């Protein structure tokens, strides 16, 4: 396969066939650099050398009734994690200030649970109104399965984006969780879109899925027209259903990131949870396919030091995308 030729066809509007998509995942390790060269052609076409930084605020930890096999906050998990109810508006604002001060443009407010309560939505809405006024950050909410009136309220408050990951293919979904359906997840993304909130939805790779499942999830996200696609690599946690699962290596992770770029050329592809333990020393190479990363810690697992990420991006010659207010301070 000539990857640069395929990349040019993708830029011109081609959608990969299943055979072409699988050939990316089955690429010989000796061809990974050529594959990434094509992925970078596409990335450069739509995003240049810019990188979007994202930060997570874990607004509610644990106490989740769902049975997701990858999650330490699941009702089935015995993992020893911090558990606490929904934090205050003031704590959410403190996190937003940290994001702003560190030139992180997207602030993600995440809460465990099947879906938000009326109080949860009110606290988030009040916090978001102040965040937009003070810091001008892009705000992403991730609160679980969403109702229409909740989406309407969040949009009115200024929420820019709503995250609800499909996680895996429809075929593999019931192996991961049985307490909600694949359709529940799709419906939540569609509700966010209906009320003018930018859809964020992605995947977790390494959950005993097949390569065909990986192709299916990339295509499903293309059909869903998700604007932002977080690509997580399973960081198996003791006490969860998937504890001990270790199917990934850094070279395969790079192939997965390339596939997401070839399949969703114009979308924000974000290297997300598990990058540190799965990509390891090859993390910088992933940025030739992706144009976004999380900085700092995740929900119940640690990220790497912020300084390491900033040094990595500087060494790559990439440019951090700032908000208008951050740019004004940087140039003052």
| Residues annotated as catalytic (active site), given as ranges | 64, 68, 71, 108, 140, 200, 270
- Residue 195 C-beta-side C-alpha neighbours within 13 Å: 22
d(CA 68, CA 134): 36
Q: How many CB atoms lie within 10 A of CB 238?
A: 11
Beta bridge partners of 162: 141, 199
Paired with 230 in beta bridges are 270
- Residue whose structure tokens are 């969860």: 240
3-state SS of the chain: helix, strand, coil percent to 5? 45, 15, 40
Q: What torsion, rounded to 10 degrees, do the Cα atoms 223, 16, 37, 303 define? A: 40
> How many CA atoms are closer than 13 Å to the CA of 324, on its beta-carbon side?
4
Nearest 5°: the CA angle 125, 127, 130 is 110
Q: CB atoms < 10 A from the CB of 116, how many?
A: 25
Going by the DSSP 8-state scheme, the letter that residue 268 receives in this structure is: E
Is residue 221 within 8 Å of 202, Cβ to Cβ?
yes
User: Quick one: tokens of 69?
Assistant: 């096999």
Q: What is the CA radius of gyration of the chain?
A: 19
State the Cα–Cα distance between residues 87 and 13, nearest whole angstrom: 45
Phi, psi of 268 (to 5 degrees): -70, 115
């Amino acid at each position: 396969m000539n990857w640069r030729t395929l990349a040019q066809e993708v830029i011109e509007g081609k959608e990969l066939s299943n055979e072409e998509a699988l050939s990316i995942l089955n690429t010989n390790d000796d061809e990974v650099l050529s594959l990434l060269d094509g992925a970078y052609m596409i990335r450069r076409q739509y995003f240049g050398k810019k990188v979007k930084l994202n930060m997570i605020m874990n607004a509610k930890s644990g106490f989740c009734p769902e049975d997701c096999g990858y999650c330490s906050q699941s009702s089935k998990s015995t993992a020893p994690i911090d558990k606490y109810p929904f934090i205050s508006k003031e704590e959410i604002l403190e996190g937003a200030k940290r994001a702003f001060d560190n030139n992180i443009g997207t602030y993600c407010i995440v809460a465990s649970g099947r879906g938000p309560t009326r109080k949860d939505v009110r606290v988030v809405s009040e916090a978001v109104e102040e965040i937009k006024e003070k810091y001008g950050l892009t705000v992403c909410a991730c609160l679980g399965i969403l109702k229409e009136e909740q989406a309407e309220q969040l949009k009115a408050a200024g929420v820019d984006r709503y995250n609800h990951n499909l996680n895996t293919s429809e075929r593999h979904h019931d192996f991961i969780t049985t307490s909600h359906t694949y359709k529940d997840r799709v419906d939540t993304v569609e509700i966010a879109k209906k009320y003018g909130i930018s859809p964020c939805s992605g995947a977790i790779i390494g959950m005993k899925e097949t390569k065909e499942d990986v192709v299916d999830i990339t295509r499903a996200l293309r059909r869903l027209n998700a604007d932002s696609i977080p690509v997580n690599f399973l960081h198996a946690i003791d006490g969860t259903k998937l504890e001990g699962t270790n199917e990934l290596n850094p070279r395969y992770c790079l192939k997965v990131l390339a596939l997401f770029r070839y399949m969703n050329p114009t979308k924000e592809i974000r290297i997300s949870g598990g990058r540190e333990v799965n990509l390891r020393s090859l993390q910088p190479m992933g940025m030739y396919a992706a144009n976004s990363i999380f900085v700092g810690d995740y929900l119940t697992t640690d990220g790497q030091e912020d300084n390491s990420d900033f040094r990595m991006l500087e060494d790559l010659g990439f440019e951090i995308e700032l908000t208008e207010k951050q740019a004004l301070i940087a140039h003052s």
